[in-house]
Structure 1
Amino acid sequence: MEFGALSRLIVISNRVAPAEGSHSGAQGGLAVALQSALREMGGIWFGWSGGQTDVFTGQVNLQRGDGYTTATVDLEEQDIDEYYNGYANRTLWPLFHYRMDLAEYERGFAGGYQRVNERFADTVRPLIEQDDTVWIQDYHMIPLGQELRRRGCANRIGFFLHTPWPPRRLLATLPEANELVETLFAYDVLGFHTAEWLESFCDFARLEMGADIEEDGDVIRFGGRTVRVIVCPIGIDTAEFRALAASDTAQHTCRQMERSAVGRAMIVGVDRLDYSKGLEERLLGFERFLLEHPEERKELFLLQIAPPSRASVGSYQRIRNTLEGLSGRINGEHADLDWVPIRYVNQGYPRDVLAGVYRASRIGLVTPLRDGMNLVAKEYVAAQDPGDPGVLILSRFAGAAAQMQEAVLVNPYSAEEISDAILTALRMPRDERIARWRALMDGVEREDVMWWRKRFTDELIAAPSLAEVD
Structure 2
Amino acid sequence: MSRLIVISNRVSAPKGSQSGAQGGLAVALASALREHDGLWFGWSGERIDTFTGEIDYQVNQGVTTATIDLEDQDIDEYYNGYANRTLWPLFHYRVDLAEYERDFAGGYQRVNARFADMVAPLLEADDVVWIQDYHLFPLGDELRQRGCGNRLGFFLHIPWPPRRLLSILPEAAELVRRMFAYDVIGFHTAEWLESFLDFVRLELGGTIGADGIVTLGDRSVRALVCPIGIDTPEFVELAAGVPARLAYRKMRDSADGRDMIVGVDRLDYSKGLEERFLGYERFLVEHPEERKEVFLLQIAPPSRGAVGSYQRIRDTLQGLSGRINGAYADVDWVPIRYVNQGYGRDTLAGIYRAAKIGLVTPLRDGMNLVAKEYVAAQDPEDPGVLILSRFAGAAAQLTEAILVNPYSAEEVSDAILKAMRMDRAERIRRWRACMDSIESQDINWWRQTFLDALMLPRAGA
TM tier, shorter chain? Answer: over 0.9
Q: How much does 1:37 deviate?
A: 1.1
Look up the SS of the partner of 1:331 in the other structure.
helix
**1:12 has 2:42 as partner:** no
Match of 1:262 in 2: 256
Equivalent in the alignment of 1:3: none
Which of residues 30, 33, 40 is equivalent to 1:35? 30
By how many angstroms is 1:198 displaced?
Answer: 0.2
Matched, 1:162 2:148: no
The 1:19/1:413 distance shift into structure 2, 3 A limit, reads: closer
Cα distance in 1 between the residues matched to 2:332 and 2:59:
52
1:153-192 to structure 2, matched below 5 A, reads: 153-192=148-187
Alpha carbons 1:270, 1:306 under 8 Å: kept = yes
Alignment partner, residue 464 of structure 1: 458
Superposition TM-score, scaled by structure 1 size: 0.96
Residue 19 of structure 1 and its aligned partner are, at CA, apart by 4.7
Give the aligned partner of residue 448 of structure 1.
442
Q: Is the 8 A contact 1:188 1:463 kept in 2?
A: no
Residue type matched to 1:102 in 2?
L
Output aligned runs, 1:143-162, within 5 Å: 143-162=138-157
Q: Which residue of 1 aligns with 2:233?
A: 239
- Take 1:19 and 1:392, find their aligned partners in 2: how far apart are those partners? 29
Are positions 1:214 and 2:242 aligned together? Answer: no
Residue aligning to 1:51: 46
- Counterpart residue number, 1:335: 329
Distance in 1, matches of 2:19 and 2:447, equals 22
Q: Does 1:292 find its partner at 2:309?
A: no
Is the Cα–Cα contact under 8 Å of residues 285 and 414 in structure 1 kept in the other structure?
Answer: yes
Deviation at 1:21, TM superposition (A): 4.7
Comparing 271-280 with 219-228, greater Cα deviation is found at 219-228
The residue number in structure 2 matching 1:439 is 433
User: Is the alpha carbon distance of 1:352 and 1:107 closer, same or farther for their aligned partners in structure 2, counting shifts above 3 Å?
Assistant: same
Residue 463 of structure 1 deviates from its aligned partner by 3.2
| 201, 205, 219: which one aligns with 2:200 | 205
Asked if 1:116 is matched to 2:111, the reply is yes
1:230 aligns with 2:221: no
In the TM superposition, residue 24 of structure 1 has moved relative to its aligned partner by 3.4
Residue 59 of structure 1 deviates from its aligned partner by 1.1
- Name 1:87's counterpart in structure 2: 82
Partner of 1:139: 134
What is the alpha-carbon distance in structure 2 between the residues aligned to residue 58 and residue 85 of structure 1?
Answer: 22
The one-letter code matched in structure 2 to 1:370 is R
62-71 vs 374-383, which moves further? 62-71
Evaluate the alpha carbon distance shift between residue 223 and residue 21 of structure 1 in structure 2; reply closer, same or farther with a 3 A threshold. Answer: farther
Contact 2:213 2:459 in 1 (8 A): no
Tell me the SS of whatever aligns to 1:450: helix
- Give me the whole-angstrom Cα distance separating, in 1, the residues matched to 2:171 and 2:433: 43
Matched-pair contact (CA < 8 Å) for 1:156–1:463: no
- Give 1:191 deviation, angstroms: 0.1
Q: Kindly provide the CA deviation profile for residues 73-127 of structure 1, in whole angstroms up to 9, marking residues without a partner as x.
A: 0011100000000000000000000000000000000000000000000000011
Alignment partners' CA distance in 1, 2:207 and 2:363: 34
CA contact 2:11–2:44 (8 Å) conserved in 1: yes
Query: In 2, Cα distance between the equivalents of 1:76 and 1:23?
Result: 31
Preserved contact between residue 88 and residue 113 of structure 1 (Cα < 8 Å): yes
Q: Which moved more, 1:53-62 or 1:300-309?
A: 53-62
Paired positions, count: 460
Which residue of 2 is the match for residue 311 of structure 1? 305
| Match in the other structure for 1:98 | 93
1:296-326 CA-partner distances (Å, limit 9, x unpaired): 0110000000000000100000000000000
SS in 2 for 1:304: strand
Instruction: Give RMSD over aligned pairs.
Output: 1.1
- Tell me, in whole angstroms, the C-alpha distance in 2 between the residues paired with 1:361 and 1:26: 19
Please, what TM-score do these two structures have when normalized by structure 2?
A: 0.98
Q: In structure 2, what is the Cα distance between the partners aligned to 1:436 and 1:214?
A: 40
Q: Percentage identity across aligned positions? A: 73
Q: Is the 8 A contact 1:249 1:353 kept in 2?
A: yes
Describe the shift of the 1:149–1:399 C-alpha distance in structure 2 as closer, same or farther (beyond 3 A): same
User: Structure 1 CA distance, aligned partners of 2:220 and 2:24?
Assistant: 30
Matched to 2:184, the amino acid is V
- Alignment CA distance shift 1:465-1:171 (3 Å): closer
What CA distance in whole angstroms lies between the structure 1 residues aligned with 2:174 and 2:53? 26
Distance of 2:459 and 2:166 partners within structure 1: 30
Deviations 1:421-442 (A, max 9, x none): 0000000000000011011111
Aligned to 1:364: 358
Q: Gaps spanning 5+ residues in structure 2: where?
A: none
Deviations 1:354-403 (A, max 9, x none): 00000000000000000000000000000000000000000000000000
| AA partner of residue 48 (structure 1) | W
Q: Is the 8 A contact 2:258 2:293 kept in 1?
A: yes
1:129 to 2:124 alignment:
yes
Q: CA deviation at 1:156?
A: 0.5
Q: How big is the shift at 1:10?
A: 0.3
Provide the C-alpha distance between the structure 1 equivalents of 2:266 and 2:365, rounded to a whole number of angstroms.
12
Alignment counterpart, residue 376 of structure 1, candidates 370, 381, 387:
370
| Partner residue, 1:68 | 63
| Matched residue type, 2:171 | E
Residues in 2 aligned to 1:134 and 1:19: alpha-carbon distance in whole angstroms: 20
- 1:22 Cα deviation from its structure 2 partner: 4.8
Tell me by how many angstroms 1:64 deviates.
Answer: 2.0
